Amino acid sequence: MPINLFAPDVDQSTVDNLCSGTLIPDKRIPHLIGVTPGTLVRRGTTLKTDDGISYEPSIEDIACILFRDVESADPVEYNGVAVYTIGEFNQNVIEEVMGAPIDPLELEKARSRLIYIAPMYPAPEPF
């Protein structure tokens, strides 16, 4: 999916604020992402892997971050889902998506993989 860097209606668009900072996120397509059938896995879900092939949602051992929402009808896997493997991300959004705070040790482990997760707050409204 191409990124729209210019939109004439930019004042009308909505932003989810998942990506932050100036480090350009790198997007890859892993082989398998295991999801529970009939559930929605939201953009910003952190994923872990034990073998580098299959991925599952987890706030521990963060290997990548889900690029877009996924809803699976397949009870085993969903193929061809893009994920961010490096970049800077908003901790507030990720914790909201995951429904739990991320342990500071897990943040440091993710940082060693070039996944920088830190709180980001929107800019205040102008006067």
Per residue in 14-50, pLDDT (tens digit) is 556 888 877 777 777 665 676 666 678 899 999 998 8
- Pick the residue with more confidence: 102 or 26? 102
Angle among Cα 5, 9, 11 to the nearest 5 degrees reads: 95
Among residues 44, 87, 48, 90, the alpha carbon closest in space to that of 68 is found at 44
Q: Can you give the pLDDT at residue 121?
A: 76
pLDDT per position as a tens digit, 47-91: 998 887 778 889 999 999 988 888 766 545 556 678 888 889 999
Q: Can you give the pLDDT at residue 113?
A: 92
pLDDT above 80 for 12: no
Which domains, and CATH codes, for the chain? 18-118 (2.40.300.10)
